[in-house]
Structure 1
C-alpha cells in the first residue's frame, strides 16, 4: 500500500479549472487501478491532498435541489458568482476566498475501504484544527460536516463536506470556513438545511486568521489521522 501523498496548494482557482484538474487526476488513478486488475500488475497508485480557495461559486450536488439557490442569473452576476451542478454527494454549498477547500484524491485501498470512516476522519481533522484555536466543535447526528453547538438551538456549521468515490478513489472533499464572507451563504439554503446557521473561524474568534497557518495545521492533522506521508 502506498501511503505517500503529494500535497499541493493551488491557491485561488476558478472552480471549473479545479474540477477539470481533479477529474484528470481522478480518472488517471481509476485507469491505473483498472490496468493493474486486468494485466495482473501491481503499480502503486498515487495519492493527492489538494488545498485551494475558489472565486465566488455555488455548487449543487447530485442529490441537491436547484431551488436551494436563491439567486437568478442576474443575481449571480451582481454577486460576481458562478454556479455549477456537479457529481459529488450532498446539496448546495458556497465556495469563496477565505475558505479552505480540500480535495483529497486518495486511493482508499492504500488506507482503508470505508467511506463512512473516511468522512468521519476528515471531520476529525477539522475538529482538531479548530481545537488548536480554542474552538470546540463536533458532529451533528444525521448530518455530515463539522458543527459548533450541535446539541442546542445555536447549532451552526463551520465545515461542509461532499465527496465522490469510485473504485475506492475519492474526489471533491470539504469546505472549511476560515475567513469566508458569510453573506454569500444567505443566497442559498446551505446543504439544504434551512433552519441552521453557518459560521467561520473569523466570526467565532473575532479576527482574521492566517490562512497559511490554518492550512498547515489542517494538513498535518489529516496526515496524522490517515497515517500518510506528505511529499
Structure 2
C-alpha cells in the first residue's frame, strides 16, 4: 500500500442517503479539479438498502418491511445501511495505471488493520474456487462478513466506499440477500466482541488511523 494522507470529514448525526450522495458528488467533482485533497468522509445513515446494477430482483427486501431501496451507481450488489454502522466514503485520485479494483484491495487491507486494532481478527477471502478475492472483509474466527465495499471511479477519482457494522441491529440484513450471497452471515463488532466491544468513537478513530486520515 502506498502512503496516502487523507483529509477527514465526519458527521456525528445520521445523514439521509440521498443527501449524502449529493454531497459526495460535489466532493468528487472538487477532487477531479484538484480543489480538495484525497478525502475520507465518515458518517452513518438512516435505514436504507442500496443496490448496484447487478442486484437481482429476488434479492430485494419486501416493501412490507418499510425500509426504502435506492439504486446507486456504485459497484457491488445489495447493502443495508442504518444506525450503528460506520460508513466511509472515499474520494481518492487514483495513481496512473491504478484501477478502482486495485484500490478496493487496498481498502480491504486497511479495514483488516483497523479491525485488528479493535480486537477483531479479520481477513479477505477468496472465492470457493480460489480464483479471485471476494470483495469485503470477514471475521477470521467465525467466518462472518463484517465490512461491505462498493465503489466506482470516474475521471480517475473514486466514490462510494465501505460499510462497517459496529453495534447496530443486524436484523434488516436478513430481510434481503446481502452482497448477492444467500448464505452470508452478516456480523458486527458488537456481535463478535460482546461486552468488550469498543464504542463508535473508538471505531471511528481506528478507521481514520488505518487510512492515515486527519481533519
Pick the TM interval, shorter chain: 0.7 to 0.9
Whole-Å Cα distance in 1 between the matches of residues 114 and 5 of structure 2? 22
Whole-Å Cα distance in 1 between the matches of residues 28 and 5 of structure 2? 16
Q: Give the total of aligned pairs.
A: 205
* Residue in structure 1 matched with residue 156 of structure 2 by the alignment: 168
Map 1:1-231 onto structure 2 (within 5 A).
5-11=6-12, 12-30=14-32, 32=33, 46-72=37-63, 74-76=64-66, 81-109=67-95, 113-142=98-127, 143-149=134-140, 155-207=143-195, 208-223=197-212, 230-231=214-215
Q: CA RMSD in A?
A: 2.1
* Residue in structure 1 matched with residue 131 of structure 2 by the alignment: none
Give every structure 1 segment of 4 or more consecutive aligned residues whose post-TM-superposition deviation is greater than 4 Å.
Answer: none
| Uncovered stretches (5+) of structure 2, i.e. residues with no partner | 128-133
Instruction: Compute the displacement of 1:70 (Å).
Output: 2.3
SS in 2 for 1:140: strand
Task: Give the conservation status (yes or no) of the 8 Å contact 2:118–2:198.
Answer: no
Task: Give the conservation status (yes or no) of the 8 Å contact 1:60–1:66.
Answer: no
Whole-Å Cα distance in 2 between the matches of residues 134 and 46 of structure 1? 31
Normalising by structure 1, we get a TM-score of 0.81
Whole-Å Cα distance in 1 between the matches of residues 29 and 204 of structure 2? 26
Whole-Å Cα distance in 1 between the matches of residues 208 and 69 of structure 2? 28
Structure with bigger gyration radius:
1
SS in 2 for 1:126: helix
Instruction: Compute the displacement of 1:67 (Å).
Output: 2.3
Instruction: Compute the displacement of 1:210 (Å).
Output: 1.1
SS in 1 for 2:149: strand
1:134-172, CA deviations, whole angstroms, 9 ceiling, x for partnerless residues? 32110111310001248xxx5310000000111220010
Instruction: Compute the displacement of 1:186 (Å).
Output: 0.7
Whole-Å Cα distance in 1 between the matches of residues 37 and 97 of structure 2? 15
1:27-75, CA deviations, whole angstroms, 9 ceiling, x for partnerless residues? 3333x2xxxxxxxxxx665321100000001000122123211212x32
Task: Give the conservation status (yes or no) of the 8 Å contact 2:5–2:211.
Answer: no
SS in 1 for 2:211: helix
Instruction: Compute the displacement of 1:132 (Å).
Output: 1.6
